[in-house]
């Protein structure tokens, strides 16, 4: 399809007020912005999104700095600052709500309600509004649980949702997964919830509250282990048997590789022939039969490493892929940054960093092959779009804006 024939991005024409901060909410709105939505960040005056002050920071020669955490998930957005406790700012915000499709909030259970800006109030301004909230444990009148008012973050949610108990050395303490998945996974589910609510609105003309709990989003991703638990009531937990059943991790001469597809005897026979270990072909435990987890870790992996540590990781992966195993290299972030496959798949995007340099970030992985390309707009400076948006959608005059700036309210 030629560029002239490209379809528009699916959320073109959708306006989203993004009153969120840190990761979960901004990650959600990033997905929607990459899909063509107009996203307007509603930020606190002077401080803005709390991620702006969280490192690591990029610095320029004049001493200015900007947060890499902020840059990576806030491209394709605009920024407006409003102190919603100020009556004029609150009125301007309500005018923005009246002309928007979605309001996204992750400031905690009932925070906007206490400002008089809960869903029940705002739907009287805009019957079609989709109001999405991200809280730790979900919070809506119909669905209140014993944890609903608890604060939450990535680590607490990973622990509560069972992920940490499933991760790490069986003989050690529970471990968190390395990245902020306790935030990004809820952000992803919230983006899906918003799109589904928009489709319901298209069919009915009515908006709704999309109530997202980070806890529930993460529990959803324990589905395989929960299914196993329903069979015998036994916690899957961390065990050598469980780790071995999923696959094996072992050393090459420059790092680690991972191997799955370990159940077929035919593949094991090919591996031991490749490794010049014909002596192991007579023991069924080396052929995928009868060996427990401890046997794999104490005997099978050392036998493999007697061969694999002679070769670079990618050579090991290629050799074992050729005989039928599902293989991978345990890559570092540096490896991913330089990955030729990710580059060929157009998985990176470069914007300006707002202080004179450039910043490379990860692209949303959705490939709508008949649609126009994603927009690439620099992350906004704090309040960068105040005048433009507040004089049009917010209904304020330049004189009123000047007064609010003097008060520190915008």
What does pTM read for this prediction? Answer: 0.95
Q: Which fold is adopted by the domain 247-335?
A: formyl-coa transferase, domain 3 (3.30.1540)
Q: How far apart are CA 30 and CA 347, in angstroms?
A: 15
State the DSSP code for 378: P
CB-based contact 74:41 (threshold 8 Å): yes
Classify residue 247 by burial, with Cβ atoms within 10 Å: 0-12, 13-18, 19+: middle
Specify the pLDDT at position 169. 85
Specify the pLDDT at position 283. 96
Phi then psi for 332, rounded to 5 degrees?
-90, 170
Helices (H), 74-222: 87-98, 111-114, 119-122, 154-160, 181-204, 214-220
Give the CA count within 13 Å in the CB-facing half-sphere of 93: 28
Of the candidates 36, 34, 7, 14, the residue with the CA atom closest to the CA atom of residue 371: 7
Query: At CA 388, angle to CA 382 and CA 394, rounded to 5?
Result: 95
- Could you tell me the sign of the dihedral formed by the alpha carbons of 20, 23, 29, 34, in that order? positive
Provide the 3-class DSSP secondary structure of residue 45.
Answer: coil
What residue ranges of the chain have pLDDT lower than 50? none
The alpha carbon of 241 is separated from its chain's Cα centroid by a whole number of angstroms, namely: 30
State the DSSP code for 140: B
Q: Is the link from the previous residue into 41 a cis peptide, with omega within 30 of 0?
A: no
The alpha carbon of 160 is separated from its chain's Cα centroid by a whole number of angstroms, namely: 18
Q: How far apart are CA 29 and CA 261, in angstroms?
A: 37
Specify the pLDDT at position 141. 83
Specify the pLDDT at position 261. 81
Concatenating the DSSP letter of every residue in 169-186 gives -TTS-----SS-HHHHHH
CB-based contact 402:39 (threshold 8 Å): no
Specify the pLDDT at position 292. 86
Q: How far apart are CA 303 and CA 293, in angstroms?
A: 15
Q: How far apart are CA 48 and CA 81, in angstroms?
A: 7
Strands 255-260 and 326-329: antiparallel
Specify the pLDDT at position 3. 61
Specify the pLDDT at position 2. 62
Question: What are 179-217's pLDDT values in tens digits?
Answer: 999 999 999 999 999 999 999 999 999 999 999 999 999
The alpha carbon of 67 is separated from its chain's Cα centroid by a whole number of angstroms, namely: 18
Q: How far apart are CA 29 and CA 17, in angstroms?
A: 9
The alpha carbon of 331 is separated from its chain's Cα centroid by a whole number of angstroms, namely: 19
Specify the pLDDT at position 127. 97
Place of tokens 């039928």: 324
Domain 3-222+345-407 has CATH 3.40.50.10540: yes
* Domain extents in the chain: 3-222+345-407, 247-335
Q: How far apart are CA 324 and CA 320, in angstroms?
A: 7
Specify the pLDDT at position 361. 97
CA distances from 138 to 42, 90, 183 (A): 22, 25, 14
Q: Which residues pair with 104 in a beta bridge?
A: 18, 132
Give me 95's structure tokens.
């005018």
The alpha carbon of 250 is separated from its chain's Cα centroid by a whole number of angstroms, namely: 28
Specify the pLDDT at position 135. 98
CA distances from 327 to 198, 203, 236, 244, 262 (A): 40, 45, 24, 15, 11
């Amino acid at each position: 399809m030629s560029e002239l024939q490209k379809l528009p991005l699916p959320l073109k024409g959708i306006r989203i007020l993004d009153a969120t901060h840190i990761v979960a909410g901004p990650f959600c709105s990033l997905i929607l912005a990459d899909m063509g939505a107009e996203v307007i960040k509603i930020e606190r005056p002077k401080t803005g999104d709390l991620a702006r002050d969280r490192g690591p920071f990029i610095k320029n020669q004049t001493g200015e700095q900007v947060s890499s955490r902020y840059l990576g998930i806030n491209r394709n957005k605009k920024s407006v600052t409003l102190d919603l406790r100020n009556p004029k700012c609150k009125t301007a915000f309500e005018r923005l709500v009246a002309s928007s499709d979605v309001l996204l909030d992750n400031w905690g259970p009932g925070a906007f309600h206490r400002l008089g800006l809960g869903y029940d109030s705002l739907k009287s301004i805009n019957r079609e509004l989709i109001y999405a909230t991200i809280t730790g444990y979900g919070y809506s009148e119909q669905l209140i649980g014993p944890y609903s008012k608890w604060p939450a973050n990535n680590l607490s949610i990973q622990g509560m949702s069972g992920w940490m108990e499933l991760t790490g050395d069986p003989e050690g303490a529970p471990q968190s997964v390395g990245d902020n998945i306790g935030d990004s996974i809820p952000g992803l589910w919230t983006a899906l919830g918003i799109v589904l609510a928009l489709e319901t609105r298209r069919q009915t003309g009515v908006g709704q509250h999309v109530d997202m709990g980070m806890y529930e989003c993460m529990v959803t991703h324990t589905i395989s282990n929960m299914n196993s638990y329903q069979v015998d009531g036994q916690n899957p937990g961390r065990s050598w048997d469980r780790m071995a059943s999923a696959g094996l991790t072992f050393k090459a001469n420059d790092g680690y590789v991972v191997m799955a597809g370990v159940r077929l005897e035919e593949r094991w026979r090919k591996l031991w022939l490749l490794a010049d270990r014909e002596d192991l072909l007579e023991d069924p435990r080396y052929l995928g039969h009868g060996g427990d987890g401890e046997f794999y870790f104490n005997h099978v992996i050392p036998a493999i490493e007697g061969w694999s540590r002679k070769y670079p990781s990618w050579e090991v992966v290629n050799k074992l892929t050729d005989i039928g195993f599902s293989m991978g290299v345990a890559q570092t972030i540096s490896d991913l940054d330089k990955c030729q496959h990710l580059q060929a798949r157009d998985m990176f995007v470069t914007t300006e960093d707002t202080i004179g340099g450039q910043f490379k970030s990860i692209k949303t992985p959705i490939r709508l092959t008949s649609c126009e390309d994603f927009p690439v707009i620099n992350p906004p400076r704090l309040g960068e779009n105040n005048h433009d948006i507040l004089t049009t959608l917010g209904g304020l005059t330049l004189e009123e804006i000047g007064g609010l700036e003097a008060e520190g309210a915008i």
